[in-house]
Amino acid sequence: MRSSGTFSIATAANRGDTSIIKQLPLRRIKERIVGKRYALSLVFVGARRMRALNLAYRAEDSPTNILSFPLGEGTGEIFMHRKSARAEARRFGMANVPFLTFLFIHGLLHLKGYRHGSTMEREEVRYCKLFSISHPTQRVAHLSHRAKLKTM
């Protein structure tokens, strides 16, 4: 059965400020990567729920920043943990909004069947450029280059 293309966003109770979510161009990105007809649920969860999902589906006993679940042809779910994402954004020297945007792109590419590797990274870079954000690995390379220039 083909999806009608719904897009829902849910935030688990007591998850703090949701204004950052409103700053993300989520619908545009979703439509560009998986299409208008794709039915997608995006759920922002806390550490306990993300840890349970990560343990159940990846056998890793800690929260992660994002998990993607294709549910069938044209439907999927993405779970995001903002606290893990925020910590990772700091490691890359990125602000929260661009990093969450990158993670959403990353999750959508998983729904399209991409696995971690150079092909997926090329697609991430392409979509990051399209939506005017830095890809984290490019950001790290830029910061490393700046640090080298300072030591010269």
58 pLDDT more than 70: yes
Task: For tokens 């696995």, name the residue.
Answer: 115
Residue 125: predicted pLDDT = 94
CA dihedral 141, 66, 78, 12 (to 10 degrees): -130
d(CA 76, CA 122): 22
Alpha-carbon distance values, 131 to 17, 30, 60, 72, 118 (Å): 24, 12, 31, 27, 20
Superfamily per CATH, domain 7-151: Metalloproteases ("zincins"), catalytic domain (3.40.390.30)
Tens digit of pLDDT for each residue in 73-123?
899 999 999 999 999 999 888 898 899 999 999 999 999 999 999 999 999
151 pLDDT more than 50: no
Tens digit of pLDDT for each residue in 22-55?
777 899 999 999 999 999 999 999 999 999 999 9
Tens digit of pLDDT for each residue in 60-84?
999 999 999 999 889 999 999 999 9
Task: For tokens 């039915």, name the residue.
Answer: 39
Domain ranges of the chain: 7-151
d(CA 121, CA 42): 22
**How many other CB atoms are there within 10 angstroms of residue 138's CB atom?**
16
d(CA 98, CA 69): 22
Rounded to two decimals, what is the model's pTM? 0.83
SS3 59: coil
What token pair was written down for 134?
Answer: 């830095």
d(CA 146, CA 39): 42
d(CA 8, CA 41): 5
